[in-house]
Amino acid sequence: MFEPARQNKTTDIIIEKIRTAILEGKLQPGDRLPPEKELGDQFNVSKQTMRESLRALEYMGLLTMRKGAGGGAFIVEVEKEVAVQNLANYLYFKNLSIENLSETRRILEPYAARCAVRRMTDDDLAALLEINRQTENALHRQDWQQVTCYEVEFHKMIAAQTDNPILILAIDFVENLLEDFKKILEPDGDFMNSVLACHRHIYDAIRDRDEDRAAAEMERHVIQVESYLAQLKRNKQGNKLWQNCLQQA
């Protein structure tokens, strides 16, 4: 299946070849790769190099190593949560801002709302309405963590209507980053009630099959969230600066 790898950075080349085989459909989730020695012979590399390559692929989430008589290296489908977390780990070192997230959301989420208008079934609408109901119940209980989970779920369900795995992953990723910001900034119940109100407007527009209104409501919601969280961040930074001044006085 594989040709010898004879260039520099041999491990990277092996990884790329196996990834390409997955992209081309030659390898599917559940497929077992040839034994380690046989793979090493195909790539014309040492046992140690082949083992390092397999470990790297396992770390990337593309395969799993099983022990025992039926063991070996098996191709697995990368879980979305793993991909999202890896992307988040990268961006945490890029001075990520609330404005960065909002700009991305304004590009992607109004389009997702339009797709939801066109594609959501009655059952989908019922599920979306139920998310809003559960959000309201969690607000009454003052279960802020559960409220945030339902808020994210609302956006994920709309994103799923794009039927585009790239957009679904991107929106999921951004929503999870936004959730991280909320954990740090700790918005209050008034903010969460305003979010629910926006979600109700978005739902109404989708239910009424009004694409322009759904997109506009989604963009308005994103802008409001950005404005509130940015102000909350400034307030917290200001309070911290004031506290430092008092400590130094």
The 10s digit of each residue's pLDDT in 78-118 is 777 777 777 777 777 888 889 999 999 999 999 999 999 99
Q: Are 73 and 27 in contact (CB under 8 A)?
A: no
What are residue 241's DSSP bridge partners? none
- DSSP helix, strand, coil percent of the chain (3-state; round to 5): 75, 5, 20
Task: List, in sequence order, the alpha helices (H) in 120-164.
Answer: 122-141, 144-160
Q: How far apart are CA 33 and CA 71, in angstroms?
A: 10
Question: How high does pLDDT run on average in the chain?
Answer: 88
pLDDT recorded at residue 108 = 97
The most confident of the ranges 8-17, 87-96, 174-183 is 174-183
| Confidence tier at 245 by pLDDT (50, 70, 90) | very low
Lowest mean pLDDT among 89-98, 143-152, 180-189, 211-220: 89-98
pLDDT recorded at residue 198 = 98
- For the question of whether the overall pTM of this predicted structure is more than 0.75, the answer is no
Judged against a pLDDT cut of 50, whether residue 228 lies above it is answered with yes
Pairing of strands 72-75, 63-66: antiparallel
- Ordered by where they begin, the domains of the chain are 10-75 (1.10.10.10), 81-234 (1.20.120.530)
Q: How far apart are CA 227 and CA 223, in angstroms?
A: 6
Q: How far apart are CA 97 and CA 133, in angstroms?
A: 31
The 10s digit of each residue's pLDDT in 139-176 is 999 999 999 999 999 999 999 999 999 999 999 889 98
Q: Are 15 and 53 in contact (CB under 8 A)?
A: yes
